Amino acid sequence: MSHRIIKPGLMTSIQDLGRKGFQQHGVIVGGAMDGYSLRMANMLVGNDEGEAALEITLMGPTIKMEKDCLISITGANLSPAIDNQAAPMWKPIHVKAGSILRFEGCISGCRAYLSVAGGYAIPEVLDSKSTYLRAGIGGYMGRALKAGDILACNEPPSMMDRWEVKGSFSYPKWFVNEREFMPVRNPLIRFIDGSQYEHFTNYSKLRFVEGSFKVSNQSDRMGYRLSGPALECQSHEELLSEAVTNGSIQVPPDGNPIILLADRQTTGGYPKMAQVISADLPIIAQVKPGESIQFSRVTLREAECLYLHKERQMKEWKASISLALHDWHIY
């Protein structure tokens, strides 16, 4: 069983929830930019939440399904179509062998996730299947997918035999409400104070929450470069390098903030003005270069509550989905 890549798309790579535990050796965490959409894609096909899936950026790939399989597509709406017929998102889809999945164009969001029941047969490197592009390890040969790549899939759960596919693909009526996951236009991103927040001028702090910041074209999995009102530190003393994390907003001397994301380095030396809260990181991952974001300051306590609330929601989703999947298998 395998997926054959006919066209790779703009940037398609294997990602899971990241490579944890090796940061002290300089090894980045990486993993899906939008962790909630990845987890949801896996839940919808009955996988472990953290199974590796394809992360698809803006222009999607063309993939031939060599055998019957159960897939799901979440995250950005890049107009998925199977054998030229629009395919649904946020639900399990049973696809007939020989079908071709294409993505016809970006309607909303930036990154889609494609998960297959059983997961892709990808060896773990340092406890993770995530592609670490700069070091050339993990994922599919340590790189983004290319035309001609063949992604082997693991055996799906045995109940798949019982499903019957009409036409190229079939799917249940129910779906997950994508509005819970996808950002609105000009999203408001919540942050807590960064480690060096107090080093910035009061005027800069004000501009940070009142201004609008455009995501530059030089943005990628490593970080988003923003342009907007310039931010300034009170003093220009050099910092010693120290740990950074997903969502750390560093401000280099030019005053344009950089939001560090999945493929960030483990350490950095620029002052950190702010820190995007965990619950809002997936929203940033779906903002395209050229779009704008705004910032809103919250307390650590609020950030923690929002995170725990989101996790509770995910747990509820997981319970309902696994019930629905089970019913779908039987009837």
Partner 1 sequence: MWKNPLNETACQMSPLGDSAIVLTFGNGIEYSIHKKIKLFMEMLEEEPFAGFVECVPAFTNLTVFYEPLVIYNTHKQSDEAISPYHVVRSILEEKLLDLMEDKKLSHRTVTIPVCYGGEYGPDLEYVARYHDLTTDEVIHIHSTGEYLIYMIGFAPGFPFLGGLSEDIATPRRSSPRMTIPAGAVGIAGKQTGVYPISTPGGWQLIGQTPAKLFLPNVNPPSLLQAGDMVKFQPISEQEYKEMKGG
* Interacting residues toward partner 1 by CB under 8 A: 20-28, 125-126, 134-135, 137, 192, 195, 240-248, 265-267, 275-278, 300-301, 303-305, 307-308, 311
For residue 189, the minimal CB distance to partner 1 (Å) is: 13
Q: Cβ neighbours of residue 251 under 8 Å, at least 6 residues apart?
A: 200, 231, 233, 257, 258, 270, 271, 272, 273
For residue 162, the minimal CB distance to partner 1 (Å) is: 35
Residue (266 or 292) nearer to partner 1, CB = 266
Rounded to the nearest 5°, which phi and psi values hold at 298?
A: -130, 170
Residue (90 or 200) nearer to partner 1, CB = 200
Q: Give dist(CA 103, CA 59) in Å, integer.
A: 7
For residue 168, the minimal CB distance to partner 1 (Å) is: 40
User: Count of CB atoms within 10 A of residue 232's CB?
Assistant: 15
For residue 280, the minimal CB distance to partner 1 (Å) is: 10
Residue (169 or 295) nearer to partner 1, CB = 295
For residue 139, the minimal CB distance to partner 1 (Å) is: 12
Helix (H, G, I), strand (E, B) or coil at 98: coil
Residue (38 or 65) nearer to partner 1, CB = 38
Residue 33 tokens read as 């930019």
For residue 260, the minimal CB distance to partner 1 (Å) is: 11
The DSSP letter of residue 169 is E
Residue (57 or 128) nearer to partner 1, CB = 128
Residue (258 or 324) nearer to partner 1, CB = 258
C-alpha pair distances (Å), 194 with each of 18, 119, 199, 299: 23, 37, 10, 11
Residue (2 or 245) nearer to partner 1, CB = 245
For residue 308, the minimal CB distance to partner 1 (Å) is: 6
> Which residues sit opposite 244 in a β-bridge?
none
Q: Give dist(CA 80, CA 90) in Å, integer.
A: 11
Closest C-alpha among 95, 76, 78 to residue 38: 76
Q: Cβ neighbours of residue 53 under 8 Å, at least 6 residues apart?
A: 14, 15, 16, 32, 38, 41, 42, 113, 114, 115, 116, 119, 120
